[in-house]
Amino acid sequence: MIFISLSIQAQSQVELLLGGAKEFNEAFLSGDFDKYIDLTIPSVIEVAGGKEVMVANAKASYEMMTKSGITFESINP
């Protein structure tokens, strides 16, 4: 009985993580960098210089890659 409970909990956590990863990836692919950064770990945002800096850097990087001919069709976690 304990094994089943742990298995269900682990499955739920995996589903939550995959759902979060999907939302994160969709925000990037759609160019919604505000949402993309909002879904980033807060300590990473802080180390990078704050949300505004990260959004600007994400946009600039995305634009640089797309201008170089790179296209993003999908991202799989």
Give the list of residues 6+ apart from residue 34 with CB closer than 8 angstroms, or none: 51, 55
Mean pLDDT across the chain: 86
Number of C-beta neighbours around residue 15 at 10 A: 10
Read off the pLDDT of residues 12-36 as tens digits, 9 standing for 90 and up: 778 888 888 899 999 999 999 999 9
Q: Is residue 15 part of a domain?
A: no
Number of domains present in the structure of the chain: 1
Torsion of CA 24, 29, 34, 37, to 10 degrees: 40
Task: Return the pLDDT at 3.
Answer: 52
Indicate whether 16 belongs to any domain.
no
**Considering the domain boundaries, does residue 22 fall inside one?**
no
The verdict on residue 47 lying in a domain is yes
Q: Which of 5-9, 14-18, 51-55 has the highest mean pLDDT?
A: 51-55
Range of the domain at 48: 28-71
